Amino acid sequence: MSVTPAQEAKRFRTLVWIIGLATVGLMFDGYDLVVYGTVVSTFLRDPNQIGPVDPAIAGALGSYALLGVLVGALLAGSIGDFLGRRKMMLAAYAWFSLAMAATAFTHTAMTFGIFRFLTGLGVGALLATTAALVSEYAPKGKKNLCNAITYSGVPLGSLAAAALAIVLLDHIGWRGMFLIGALPFVTLLPLAIWKMPESVAWLVSRGRIEEARRVAAETGVEMPEADAAILPAEQGATGYRGLFGDFLVPAMLIGLMSATGLLLVYSLNTWLPELMLRAGFNAKGSLSFLLVLNGAAALGPIVVARFADRFGPKPVVAASFLLGAAAIAAMTLKLPLAALLAIVALVGIGTSGTQTLIYGFVANYFPTRVRGAGVAWCAGFGRLGGVGGPLIGGLLIAAGLSIETIFFVLAGLALLGIALTLAIPAGRIAPEGRPAMAG
């Protein structure tokens, strides 16, 4: 079926809106990831904020949001393939915005931790749904690129958090920093209600053909009935039942791979400023390392994703883990500041950048009927690593280990990520017996 220029233009506009809205949404996920790291030194040194906080407590507080992300992502995976992509994303925007606002008004470590957990629920639901929607609207041959652009929002948001902390933290305090995270409720959410469509592929997979045709006409996408991976629901189980019934081994390996990647991401984003403070840099200088880390993580995967679309995402993800391992190990060297910042940029590409590529990998690995569950599993189970990141960092520091030893531990985890990535089967096999190569 030929596509008219008008239809192609309509599809392009739809894709721009989807990627734009999804990217901004994930920017606030990235902001939430790093904003705690920018204020943790304040909590450690000033008991008048939320009470006395030592490194172990700080690590636990950092993990509460990630526990929320884990629960939110897994819950979204259990209902997202039934409820739909659009409704899940709108609900997630509203939820995490309100929870961020509430966090800003807490006065004890306990209430701070509770609202960090509640914020994580919304962030998890968003992470579990975004890649599925983007993949189902992205053109063939550019799915990894579109997801890389979208998920670059996470490090861009982290970059914004670090930059805003350098400029504003002394003026608005940590409460003002958290209030910034509530802005999507009055900005992004109204735009998404207006411009975010439901996935045509998901509608077809649920047997809602007439509704799918209407949305396809409005958005300019083609009806996907001919795609063997997108069939009505009776062709296979949906959600977690289909994921673990038909794709158990790759799902488990993907979950472990994501957990390893996120352990690295959250360890560094939570504790890098404190480690750099202990290495002799001042407060603003230590925050600048976060700026470089996340700036490189935002830009690098967009370039690398072109190779993932051409050669397949698995070898590219493995190579990115390898880059991260080498760069983290190089952080132990006595280098001039300029060289150290260049190494930190490579660390960003090899950690947060790797996680960006992982989401694109997973979103294109599974068929539509279990895609939401697959991405949710990646984001949710992976958050076990995210939960462990702040905890491990806090425990390693509390144990009195040297900065060099801590970096070598993290480099070893990146090597584990390579092994897990290479162990994932090269393609997925649909229950009908037809091979459907991933990526």
Q: What is the pLDDT of residues 296-337, one digit of tens each?
A: 888 888 888 888 888 888 999 999 999 999 999 998 888 887
Domain boundaries, the chain: 5-436
pLDDT in tens, 96-132: 999 999 999 998 988 999 999 999 999 988 988 888 8
Predicted confidence at residue 32, as pLDDT, reads 84
364: how many CB neighbours lie within 10 A of its CB?
26
Does the structure show a pLDDT above 80 at 250?
yes
> What percentage of the chain has pLDDT greater than the value 70?
91
Mean pLDDT of 236-252: 84
Binning pLDDT at 50, 70 and 90, where does residue 368 land?
confident
Position with higher pLDDT, 329 vs 295: 329
The pLDDT confidence band at residue 363, using thresholds 50, 70 and 90, is: confident
- pLDDT level of residue 293 (50, 70, 90 thresholds): confident
Greater pLDDT, 269 or 262: 262
Using a pLDDT cut of 90, give the percent of the chain over it.
28
* pLDDT tens sequence across 130-189: 888 888 888 887 888 888 889 888 878 877 887 898 889 889 999 999 999 999 999 999
Residue 227: predicted pLDDT: 43
Q: What is the pLDDT of residue 224?
A: 66
Characterize 304-321 residue by residue with b for buried, 16 or more Cβ atoms within 10 angstroms of its Cβ, and e for exposed: bbebbbeebbbebbbbbb
Asked if the model's pLDDT at residue 233 lies above 50, the reply is: no
367-376, 398-407, 421-430: segment of lowest average pLDDT: 421-430
* Cβ neighbours of 194 (radius 10 Å): 9
Between 275 and 193, name the one with better pLDDT: 193
Q: 236 pLDDT band (50/70/90 cuts)?
A: low
| Top-confidence residue, 115 or 275 | 115
- Bridge partners of 428? 436
Q: Among candidates 150, 151, 92, which has minimal Cα distance to 120?
A: 92
Q: What is the mean pLDDT of residues 377-406?
A: 82
User: Per-residue pLDDT for 79 more than 60?
Assistant: yes
Mean model confidence pLDDT for the chain:
83
- Residue range 5-436 in CATH 1.20.1250.20: yes
pTM confidence score: 0.74
Output the pLDDT for position 283: 57
d(CA 180, CA 197): 27
d(Cα 395, Cα 6) in Å, to the nearest integer?
58
pLDDT at residue 311, as a whole number: 82
